[in-house]
Structure 1
Amino acid sequence: MTDIGAPLDIKVPVVWVLGGPGSGKGTQCAKIVEKYGYVHISSGDLLRDEVAKATPLGQQLSAIMTKGELVPLETVLQLLKNAIKEKADSAKGFLIDGYPRTVEQGEKFTSLVCSVKAIVFFDLSDDLMAARLLERGKSSGRADDNEETIRKRLQTFRNESMPVVEKYASMVVTIPATDPVDVVFGKVVAFMDKL
């Protein structure tokens, strides 16, 4: 295991944003960034950016991702830590989007990266998430927006990510994501204003 050092001492709120695929995490994160000036960090974006830069690490990541294998957890944690450290002096807060996906990832984040103030969980039924993803698939061009893959992604989310919500229940704010975007955001604002 790579030693990524002691956890950071971050003075602003760090919030995990969780929810199944199609629950509206990305949309709500964009609105939070706009209103509150938080820094939005997506582990997937960090990995894709590193690959696009074609650094030695990016080339390693590309080979791993091309084979459909999972990137080592320590690598993802190091990228998250670097991204937080880079903006620590100017950020009003951090939104960690779609991470952690498992309890182990959550435990390693809090022990190696930094502590977490709260978790926002966008709750939506599997049927509604599937419908949204199929609709998005008509225009997104994303290869994973098809019915078979969507069902697998939803099952993986239920099996691996719901235990995170259960483990950290005392920190979780559950926001029903069935309403229109602005109604959901109203509930987000009610919570964010208290942070």
Structure 2
Amino acid sequence: MDLHKEDDRGSAKQKKVKIVFVIGGPGSGKGTQCKRIAQQFGYTHLSVGEILRQEISSGSETGSMIQKIMKEGKLVPSDVTVRLLQQAMQGINSDKFLIDGFPRNEENVKAFEDLTKMEPEFVLYLDCPQDEMEKRLLSRNEGREDDNVETIRKRFKVFMESTLPTIEYYESKGKIRKVDAGKSVDEVFESIKVIFSQGKDYNKVPPSRHKCKCLIL
């Protein structure tokens, strides 16, 4: 990724950027927790879902395509998602990014690594039971047209089929930091604070002891 700054002699110098991905099923609390993390630990919070919705609102041809895909509960093509995410990161003068809702699948991972030549410092996984996520989505009443039972359940299915393999991928690299997101907002954040305070030394045990629990759909 072309994230750089000028040194005293005016030549381009690569800027070291720290990235943390935050993933979890729909309604697992990613947005809520990311706002708290950003405030307490000085990260720039980028929500991939919000970036995609902004593109829809722009009325562009890409936005119309994204809207159609999201209505069907499917995933937006990786090249589109990464390009929009890359544009957002390049437009902000920051060296610490908290990326919410990404990657959604293994193709996202490959596209991000190929285009940016970067990897996350670690991946925060908000592990939440499906019935709790469904209850949260149906009660939040934000006026989002994809917050209906049929679409929500499609999104759960997509999450299980597409995102869990990416969790296993990062787990094999020792980068997954999992918290129980079924608890209260404050309790979840207390667990998250431990992770961000201790950084990559947190919970450093062999990947086999970090097995993710698949959602039962």
TM-score category of the 2 structures, normalised to the smaller one: 0.7 to 0.9
Secondary structure of the corresponding residue to residue 103 of structure 2: coil
Structure 1 counterpart of 2:124, one-letter code: V
Distance in 2 between residues matched to 1:91 and 1:7, nearest whole Å: 13
- Unpaired stretches in structure 2, ≥5 consecutive residues: 4-13, 200-217
8 A Cα contact 1:37 1:92, kept in partner? no
Q: How does 1:8-157 map to 2 (within 5 A)?
A: 8=3, 10-54=15-59, 59-68=60-69, 71-87=76-92, 90-113=93-116, 114-136=118-140, 139-157=141-159
Structure number with larger C-alpha Rg: 2
8 A Cα contact 1:40 1:97, kept in partner? yes
Distance in 1 between residues matched to 2:76 and 2:170, nearest whole Å: 24
> Which is richer in helix?
1
TM superposition shift of 1:66: 4.3
Instruction: Quote the sequence identity (%).
Output: 38
Distance in 2 between residues matched to 1:168 and 1:49, nearest whole Å: 29
TM superposition shift of 1:95: 0.9
Count of residues in Structure 1 that have an aligned counterpart in Structure 2: 182
TM-score (norm 2): 0.76
TM superposition shift of 1:128: 1.3
Secondary structure of the corresponding residue to residue 27 of structure 1: helix
CA RMSD of aligned residues (A): 2.0
8 A Cα contact 2:15 2:95, kept in partner? no
8 A Cα contact 1:7 1:111, kept in partner? no
Which residue of 165, 168, 177 maps to 1:166?
A: 168
Structure 1 counterpart of 2:180, one-letter code: P
Structure 2 vs 1, CA of residues 130 and 66 (structure 1 numbering), >3 Å: closer, same or farther? closer
Query: Does residue 188 of the first structure (1) align with residue 192 of the second (2)?
Result: yes
8 A Cα contact 1:175 1:188, kept in partner? yes
Secondary structure of the corresponding residue to residue 91 of structure 1: coil
TM superposition shift of 1:53: 4.1
